[in-house]
């Protein structure tokens, strides 16, 4: 029974981490909407200019390094020598702390230069606030890696959710309070960035609390001379963290690099092409409204696809080829179906959705174009996760790393001509290029056909029918005369009502068209209910 129990524990742990990731992503997307409502488009611009630098620290503390440390810890623990695991954690902490200090120094003392690069010197203080997070992420990474290596995912999950809750609470509380007191938007932005510090501190406290309650200090406390006892082992740890850790981290920075490029040159390009500074800040803030919309759209696709990755990894290790190909194809189909549905649906109702969430319809056409980022990023994220599950780390990291220079250059080409619409187009071209590069490599790793003509035809038909329904619904409701001052309420009714009806039609056509088998639907939430929509010939 031992292998069965280990398998159950593995998938239970994967489920806990997936649930925590889902909650934190929802919180990360949702808090930005009331924050923008409090501080306005200029205040949102200030926050979003600095957010990508915080995003780098988040990825370092949650993905690459904890994953590698947990893998190494599990391997070393099996050897039965506690000194080996102590050395692993101690060496890892020293390496990550050195890296964190280096990032802190670059960001803290280079804040003025980076702010000037952004053409907004007032952002320097916000960058210095964010730099402190890099001093704190190493201890969080180490402890998360330690617990994950033991197979205990609860401390990591609680620390992630706790961090995001406290961070969101701090941001909204300080934004509301400082706005009411009449402070400048840059000071309010600094207060919002302080939330990143309180969040990661709470994460560390939660992890330390588990250590204290379980009395695990002795297990991880290093002894004297530990570093000198086995130089080759220390070298192996350094190589693993440097190669595996950084490649996994970089692969998780897709949208961070996109936002970083926009932060560094979009505002500058707008001002250089004749837009007055305050107006350019507001325009950039409107463009940044797309970030929470993209995050919300990709959450479901990414979460459902990534939940299959442990199955893919397990099948690869067991060399179960048929099961492996089956789950890979399912993950790809899920990402495309949900990505198409979310992208096309959001594009169709972007104007009322913009009013519902952000009070007015400014920039709706640009946000409509950005909605297709959901489809591309969902596919990219899924392919990267599958390739990592198949053991390919370097190629996905290289492809993602290319997003920053490509997006930066395309901004310089398109923004002077098309404004923020040019930046949206540059984002789509960048992601489409990365998607193509990954797909070419992915196809070489697969022997079976990934997408069928029937699948693509059914998805396109469902998308077209959904658009016709949504546009018709909006046209009819726009004919209704509404009292003055109720525009936002009406937009909310339109957006939510249309989204529900359009989403149901899209899902009905997808399931009725046999895109998913009955046994595949059983893996979905409410799968038994969804299977009732299957035609008789597609039921098992």
Block means of pLDDT (10 residues each) for the chain, length 540 residues?
Answer: 48 70 83 93 94 90 81 74 77 89 95 94 94 92 87 87 93 94 93 92 93 77 61 78 85 92 95 92 94 83 61 69 78 89 94 92 94 93 85 90 96 95 97 94 76 89 96 90 85 92 92 80 68 67
What is the pTM for the complete model shown?
0.88
Nearest to 383 by CA among 462, 436, 324: 436
Nearest to 156 by CA among 76, 242, 222, 70: 70
pLDDT of the residue at 1: 39
The total of other beta-carbon atoms located within 10 Å of residue 110's CB is 15
pLDDT of the residue at 4: 44
pLDDT of the residue at 2: 46
**Cα–Cα distance for residue pair 46/263, rounded to 1 Å:** 10
The total of other beta-carbon atoms located within 10 Å of residue 443's CB is 11
pLDDT of the residue at 263: 95
pLDDT of the residue at 80: 64
pLDDT of the residue at 322: 76
**Cα–Cα distance for residue pair 94/148, rounded to 1 Å:** 19
pLDDT of the residue at 481: 82
What count of Cα atoms within 13 Å lies in the side-chain half-sphere of residue 430?
A: 30
pLDDT of the residue at 3: 46
**Cα–Cα distance for residue pair 297/294, rounded to 1 Å:** 5
SS3 state at 14: helix
**Cα–Cα distance for residue pair 168/495, rounded to 1 Å:** 25
What count of residues does the chain have?
540
pLDDT of the residue at 81: 66
């Amino acid at each position: 029974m031992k292998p069965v129990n280990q398998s159950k524990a593995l998938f239970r742990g994967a489920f806990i981490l997936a649930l925590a990731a889902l909650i934190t992503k929802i919180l990360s997307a949702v808090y930005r909407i009331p924050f923008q409502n409090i501080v306005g488009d200029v205040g949102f611009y200030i926050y979003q200019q600095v957010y990508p630098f915080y995003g780098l620290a988040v990825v370092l503390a949650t993905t690459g390094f904890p994953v590698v440390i947990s893998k190494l810890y599990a391997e070393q623990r099996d050897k039965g020598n506690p000194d080996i695991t102590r050395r692993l954690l101690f060496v890892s902490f020293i390496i990550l702390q050195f890296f964190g200090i280096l990032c802190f120094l670059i960001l803290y003392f280079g804040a003025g230069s980076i702010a000037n690069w952004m053409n907004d010197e007032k952002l320097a203080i916000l960058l210095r606030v964010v730099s402190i997070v890099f001093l704190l992420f190493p201890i969080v990474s180490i402890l998360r890696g330690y617990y994950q290596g033991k197979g205990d995912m609860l401390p990591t999950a609680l620390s992630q959710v706790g961090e995001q809750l406290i961070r969101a609470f701090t941001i909204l509380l300080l934004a509301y309070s400082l706005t009411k007191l009449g402070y400048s938007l840059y000071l309010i932005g600094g207060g919002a960035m302080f939330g990143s510090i309180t969040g990661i501190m709470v994460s560390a406290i939660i992890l330390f609390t588990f250590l204290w309650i379980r009395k695990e200090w002795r297990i991880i406390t290093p002894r004297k001379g530990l570093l000198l006892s086995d130089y080759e082992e220390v070298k192996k740890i350094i190589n693993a963290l440097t190669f595996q850790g950084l490649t996994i981290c970089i692969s998780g920075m897709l949208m961070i690099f996109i936002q970083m490029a926009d932060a560094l040159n979009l505002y500058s390009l707008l001002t250089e092409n004749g837009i007055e500074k305050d107006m350019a800040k507001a325009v950039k803030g409107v463009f940044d409204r797309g970030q929470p919309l993209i995050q919300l759209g990709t959450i479901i696709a990414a979460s459902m696809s990534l939940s299959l990755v442990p199955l893919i990894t397990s099948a690869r290790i067991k060399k179960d080829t048929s099961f492996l190909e089956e789950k890979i194809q399912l993950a790809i189909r899920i990402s495309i179906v949900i990505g198409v549905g979310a992208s096309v649906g959001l594009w169709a109702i972007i104007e009322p959705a913009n009013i519902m969430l952000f009070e007015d319809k400014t920039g709706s056409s640009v946000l409509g174009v950005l909605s297709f980022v959901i489809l591309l990023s969902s596919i990219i994220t899924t392919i990267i996760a599958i390739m990592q599950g198949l053991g390919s780390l370097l190629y996905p990291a290289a492809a993602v790393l290319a997003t920053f220079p490509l997006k930066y250059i395309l901004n310089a080409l398109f923004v002077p001509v098309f404004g923020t619409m040019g930046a949206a187009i540059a984002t789509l071209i960048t992601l489409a290029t990365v998607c193509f590069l990954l797909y070419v490599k992915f196809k070489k790793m697969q022997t079976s056909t990934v997408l069928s003509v029937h699948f693509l035809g059914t998805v396109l038909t469902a998308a077209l029918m959904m658009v016709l329904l949504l546009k018709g619904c909006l046209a009819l409701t726009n004919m209704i005369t509404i009292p003055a001052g109720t525009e936002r309420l009406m937009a909310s009714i339109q957006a939510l009502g249309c989204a529900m009806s359009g989403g149901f039609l899209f899902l009905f056509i997808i399931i009725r068209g046999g895109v998913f088998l009955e046994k595949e639907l059983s893996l979905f939430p409410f799968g038994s209910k969804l299977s009732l929509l299957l035609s008789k010939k597609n039921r098992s």
